[in-house]
Structure 1
Amino acid sequence: MIRKISSTLSTFNEIVFHEGLNILLADVTQESTDKDTRNGLGKTTFTEIIHFLFGGSCTKNSIFKLEQFINHYFIMDLEIQGEKITVKRRGFDSNYVYLECEEGSYFESIFGALNNKIKIAEWNRFLGEYLFNLNFKDEQINGNLKFRTLFPYFSRLAKDGGFLEAEKYFKTQKIHITQIVLTYLLGLDTELAISYKRLEEKKKEVSDFRKALNTEAYKNIMHEGINLDTEITILSKEIQTSKNELANFQVHPKYKEIEIEANEYTRKIADLSNKNFIDRQIISDLKAASDNEENITDINIVDLYNEVNVRLPDALVKYFDASKAFHEQLVRNRKNYLANELEKYESDIQQREKLIEKLSLEQSKNMEILNTHGALEQHSLLQARLNELVSKHEMYQNQQRFLTSLREEEANLKISEQKLILEINKSLEQHSKIKNEAILLVEEVSKSLYDSVAQLSIGQTKSGRYDIKMISRNQGSTGINSMLIYCFDMMLIQMSLFLNRKMDILVHDSTLFDPVDERQIAEALRFGKEKSLEVGFQYIVTLNSDDLPENIKDEVKNNILPVILTDSDESGCLMGLYF
């Protein structure tokens, strides 16, 4: 229990607590007007100080980081099972707490006696182990449960949405985290709740994969529309063929030079053949010309004129004979020229034919090498082709393995889900004593109120996970949600002691009672007073004075703390100054 909350801030109104019900009132003064407010007197700040000293986060926007408070310690005297420990913390070095322990106490054996500076994480770890019996050596527990996920159920903060739902202390709290925490607080099988959370996370991963596979980008990557088995079979055959080609491939060291030389031979042979073709045309023309020369007729001009009875002069006959002799000489010279030219061209053709034969022989040798060997570039191309086939084959195999694995995972998840449903159902039967205890505790609290408003349901959803929730019997009742939270919290603090845990503090901010009618407030305070003393826990309530029902003032007058927050001036608020 908390014995005292104080501060090194001189204006702070120190608060001393006692066992059972403690009511911190915010009162209106005679000097107050209708425009005055008690909302800034420190009721909410008081709850924040409790969280601060119990290891809550301290952001840059925290009141403990304000200039007027940052260097001042806030101090809590805490008594746990008869042993006292003093906790100090300030905004300046909020990552640490300072502890003072009684000589010879259990706390001294852990932390030492005076001004022990320890990290806030270490302090929270200790509180989790000591107050809630958390076993941080258990990896499952360590990864899913912390002191700071349990404590807020015993001191809800309105700014976090702590008074919106009984089952949650934070407005955006995820359902699986909620069920894990509640199964632990109720003493059920938390490992099954953790397993179900992991199952749901795995199902979401698989579902996200399936969604991704339906996008156009993934369809292109996954080669939508092809049969992977068929493609893999075909590629395997092509890869083997390509490997065989490479195995039989011989690389000649001078392949490129030989290839160039063979190409040069081909060019030269073509050149020579072209020249021979032209020369053969010339020879054909020369032969035709030569034949024409041989066919020239030997005409006797005297006989020709005698036939026509014409007598030629002797001078003319003599001149014609001379011309005929000249012409015959000219024809002989032309024949000799044609014969020489013919011989020359035929000789050139023969020489070229010999050269072609020689070049063809050399080319044949080169071609034999080229046909039986390959160039390094060709080998590289074959290797690149093989690499491409292998890469594609591996990609298809990976896709096939992925899809097979995905289908297997989906099947296994269905099996795991059904198995887990049975395990949770069986566990609920095995924990029936604890389950019934929690249900009956809520029933007891509910009946003590003006209306019997609440029931606790502990079971499974249709999907099989734990389903722990509060149910309203009377939806029309004023402030029904607040009363559900009240019943739930009263059950939790009693279950803590029922499960032999040392957490024995329950704090309720006035926000809880704002929408509740005075008859239910009276019954809630009456039940809290009686049950806290009966069971042995400390119940701290902050309340506006005009929300304290008249019919219970006498019963709880000794439970009202000596410090009453007022709005007469700034000294009346918790901090003793306005901020």
Structure 2
Amino acid sequence: MIEKIYSTLETFKDINFHKGLNILLADVTQKSTDKDTRNGLGKTTFIEIIHFLLGGSCSRTSFLKLPRFSEHFFIMDMKIDDSKLIVKRRGIESNYIYILCEKGSKFEAIFGPAEKKIKVTEWNEFLGSSLFNLNSADFRINENLKFRTLFPYFARKASDGGFLEASKYFKNQKVFPTQIALTYLLGLDTKLAIDQKMLDEKKKEIADLKKVLKTDAYKEIVSENINLDTEITILNEKALNFRRELDSFQVHPKYKDIEIEASIHAKQISELSNRNFIDRQIISDLKDASMNEEQISEISIKDLYAEVKVKLPEALIKNFVDSKKFHESIVSNRKNYLNSELNNYEKIVQEREVQVEKLSIERSKSMAILNTHGALEQHSILQARLNELLNKIEMYKNQQNIISSIREEEANLKIAEQKLIIEVTKSLEEHKTMKQKAILLVEEASKSLYNSAAQLNIGQTKNGRYDIEMVSRNQGSTGINSMLIYCFDMMLIQMSLYLERKMNILIHDSALYDPVDERQVTEAIRFGKEKSSERGFQYIITLNSDDLPEGIYEEVKGNILSKVLTDSDESGTLLGVYY
């Protein structure tokens, strides 16, 4: 329980608490007008300070970070199992807590006899173990349950949406963390709730993976209209053929030089062959000319002589006999010239043919090497094509594995889901005593309220997960949601004690009672007083003085804390200053 809250801030109003019901009032002074407000007196600040001292987060926007407050310690004296602890924390070093144990306390073994500075995370772990029996050695529990995921049910904050729904203390609280926390607080099988959460996470993973397969980016990589098994079979055969070709591939070290040499030989052979073709045409013409010379027969020497006589001087041609001899000499010389030219061309052609034959032999040798060996460039191209093919096969196999994994995982999830439904059903039956206890505690609180009938349902949804919710049989009642929360919280604090946990503090902000009619407020306060006294827990509420029903005042005046907040001036606020 909390014994005292105070501060090194001189203007702060120290507040002392006692067992059972504690009422912190915000009072109206005679000077107050309709324009005055009690919303800034410190009721909400009070709850913020309790969360701060019990390991809550401290954001940059918190008033505890303001320069005028950040260096001041806020302090709480508290008892856990009759052992006193003094807890100090300040905004300027909000990651740390100062702990001082009462001399002779059993917690000296943990914190030592002197004041000790520890991290907030260590403090929260200690509180989880001490107040809620959380086992930090249990990995699954430790990953999903912390002191700070449980304590807010016992000190709801209006600013977090804590008074919107009974099963949640935070507006955007997710389903599975909620079910995990509630199953633990109710003494049900929390590990099954964790299994449900993990199952849901796997479902989301599969759903996300299936979404990826439908994206345009993925469709660009893999064709939709193919049978992967068939395509992989065909591509594997192609890859095998490429491997065989590469295995038999021999790379000659001078392949490029030999290739160039063979090309030069081919070019030379072509040039020589072209020149021989031309020369053979000339040889043919020379042979024809020689044949014509031999076929020259008797010619008319007289006519020739007469023609020559006319055209040549008399001195050059003596007589016919001389002319004849002259003609025969010309023919003979012509034949000799033709034969000489023919022989020369035939010799040149023969020499070229010999050269062509030699070049052909050299080219054949080069081609034989080129036919049995390959170039490194060709080998690289073949290897690149094989790698491309192997990459494609790998990509198809990955897609095939993804699809197979999805199908297999979906089937396994269906099996696991059905199995979990059976296990939760069985567990609810095994924890029937806990279930009935919680239901009856809610029923008891509900009956104590005027014309209100709240009830707790503990069961399963259609998909088998735990379903824990508060419902009302009287939807027309004013402030019914607040009273559902009231009944639920009263059940939680009593279940904590029933389960032999040391969490024995319940705090309700005035926001819970704001929409509730006076008669229900009266009964709620009366029930809270009776039960806190009977069960041994501390029930702290903050109220505006005009919201405290007159009919209950005499019964609870001894429970009203000595420090009453007023709106006379800033000294009447909890912090003693406006900010």
TM (norm. structure 1) is: 0.95
- Structure 1 residue runs without a partner (length 5+): 306-313
Per the alignment, residue 112 of structure 1 pairs with: 112
Per the alignment, residue 421 of structure 1 pairs with: 421
Per the alignment, residue 342 of structure 1 pairs with: 342
Give the residue type in structure 2 aligned to 1:345: Y
- Structure 2 residue runs without a partner (length 5+): 306-313
| Alpha-carbon distance, 1:243 to partner | 2.1
| Alpha-carbon distance, 1:73 to partner | 1.1
**Aligned residues of 2:301 and 2:324 also touching (Cα < 8 A):** no
After TM superposition, the structure 1 = structure 2 runs for residues 37-436 of structure 1, keeping only pairs within 5 Å, are 37-300=37-300, 302=302, 325-436=325-436
Moved more, 392-401 or 295-304: 295-304
Per the alignment, residue 566 of structure 1 pairs with: 566
| Residues 37 and 315 of structure 1, relative CA distance in 2, 3 Å threshold | closer
- Residue deviations 1:348-396, cap 9 Å, x none? 1111111111111122222222222223333333333333333322222
Give the residue type in structure 2 aligned to 1:144: N
**Aligned residues of 2:302 and 2:320 also touching (Cα < 8 A):** no
Per the alignment, residue 472 of structure 1 pairs with: 472
**Aligned residues of 1:567 and 1:573 also touching (Cα < 8 A):** yes
| Alpha-carbon distance, 1:328 to partner | 4.2
| Residues 304 and 429 of structure 1, relative CA distance in 2, 3 Å threshold | closer
Moved more, 292-301 or 57-66: 292-301
1:118 aligned counterpart, secondary structure? strand
Per the alignment, residue 34 of structure 1 pairs with: 34
Q: Distance in 1 between matches of 2:28 and 2:268?
A: 120
Per the alignment, residue 21 of structure 1 pairs with: 21
| Alpha-carbon distance, 1:289 to partner | 2.8
| Residues 340 and 110 of structure 1, relative CA distance in 2, 3 Å threshold | same
Give the residue type in structure 1 aligned to 2:348: D
Q: Distance in 2 between matches of 1:11 and 1:267?
A: 109
| Residues 347 and 550 of structure 1, relative CA distance in 2, 3 Å threshold | same
- Residue deviations 1:471-499, cap 9 Å, x none? 12122211111111111111100110011
Give the residue type in structure 2 aligned to 1:555: E
Give the residue type in structure 2 aligned to 1:376: L
Per the alignment, residue 11 of structure 1 pairs with: 11
Q: Distance in 1 between matches of 2:115 and 2:302?
A: 163
Give the residue type in structure 2 aligned to 1:503: M
**Aligned residues of 2:452 and 2:477 also touching (Cα < 8 A):** no
| Alpha-carbon distance, 1:250 to partner | 2.5
Q: Distance in 1 between matches of 2:139 and 2:269?
A: 86
Give the residue type in structure 1 aligned to 2:201: E
Give the residue type in structure 1 aligned to 2:52: F
Moved more, 537-546 or 450-459: 450-459
1:507 aligned counterpart, secondary structure? strand
- Residue deviations 1:429-471, cap 9 Å, x none? 1111101111111111111111223111111111111111111
Per the alignment, residue 483 of structure 2 pairs with: 483
| Alpha-carbon distance, 1:415 to partner | 0.8
Q: Distance in 2 between matches of 1:32 and 1:575?
A: 19
| Residues 77 and 304 of structure 1, relative CA distance in 2, 3 Å threshold | closer
Moved more, 103-112 or 178-187: 103-112
What number of residue pairs does the alignment pair up? 572
**Aligned residues of 2:508 and 2:541 also touching (Cα < 8 A):** yes
Q: Distance in 1 between matches of 2:320 and 2:485?
A: 154
Q: Distance in 1 between matches of 2:461 and 2:325?
A: 137
| Residues 316 and 277 of structure 1, relative CA distance in 2, 3 Å threshold | closer
- Residue deviations 1:65-109, cap 9 Å, x none? 111111111111102222211111111211111112111111222
Q: Distance in 2 between matches of 1:303 and 1:529?
A: 168
| Residues 303 and 147 of structure 1, relative CA distance in 2, 3 Å threshold | closer
| Alpha-carbon distance, 1:239 to partner | 2.2
TM (norm. structure 2) is: 0.95
| Residues 330 and 446 of structure 1, relative CA distance in 2, 3 Å threshold | same
| Residues 433 and 299 of structure 1, relative CA distance in 2, 3 Å threshold | same
- Residue deviations 1:182-235, cap 9 Å, x none? 111111111111111011011001001101101111122233222221122122
Give the residue type in structure 1 aligned to 2:534: E
| Alpha-carbon distance, 1:256 to partner | 2.5
| Alpha-carbon distance, 1:561 to partner | 0.9
The percent identity for this pair of structures is: 69
Moved more, 292-301 or 51-60: 292-301
Give the residue type in structure 1 aligned to 2:276: N
Give the residue type in structure 2 aligned to 1:460: Q
Q: Distance in 2 between matches of 1:320 and 1:487?
A: 163
Q: Distance in 2 between matches of 1:319 and 1:207?
A: 127
**Aligned residues of 1:302 and 1:317 also touching (Cα < 8 A):** no
Give the residue type in structure 2 aligned to 1:567: D
Q: Distance in 2 between matches of 1:52 and 1:317?
A: 150
Moved more, 146-155 or 289-298: 289-298
Moved more, 289-298 or 279-288: 289-298
Per the alignment, residue 309 of structure 1 pairs with: none
